[in-house]
Amino acid sequence: MDRDQTLYAYNGVKHTIDAVTGASATHTTAISNHCTVLRLVAAEDVYVTFETLLDASATIGLLVKAGVIEYFKVSGGQKLNALAVTTDGALEICEMTS
């Protein structure tokens, strides 16, 4: 399988959620309007969603494995919701453009 060879530029906007817990979903502020891609790195496994009104959970969230860099296409104004799978930890979020 070929990997996407698109290059992304860092927008200078970075969010860190220091304590993603399994108790409740954590929300970021709205993603910048010029952002088209989010780069995520989690210290521990987390579930994420990008819906403004839906909290992340095991049934509707996407699994982001600890230490794996993930890229997601997004639209400005969306919010990232994160929920720890088992162990609480930090989630690094970088806004990027393609």
* Token pair belonging to 68: 């794996």
Domain assignment of residue 64, yes or no? yes
Task: Give the end-to-end CA distance of the chain in Å, rounded to a whole number.
Answer: 21
Domain assignment of residue 5, yes or no? no
Structure confidence by residue, pLDDT tens digits, 2-49: 555 555 666 666 666 655 666 666 777 788 888 888 899 999 999 888
Domain assignment of residue 46, yes or no? yes
For residue 48, the domain's CATH number is 2.60.120
pTM exceeds 0.85: no
Rounded distance between C-alpha atoms, residue 64 and residue 69, angstroms: 8
- Is residue 59 classed as helix, strand or coil in its secondary structure? coil
Q: What is the structure's pLDDT at 1?
A: 43
Domain count of the chain? Answer: 1
Range of the domain at 45: 19-97
Q: What is the structure's pLDDT at 45?
A: 92
Structure confidence by residue, pLDDT tens digits, 49-91: 887 666 667 778 889 999 999 999 988 888 888 888 888 888 8
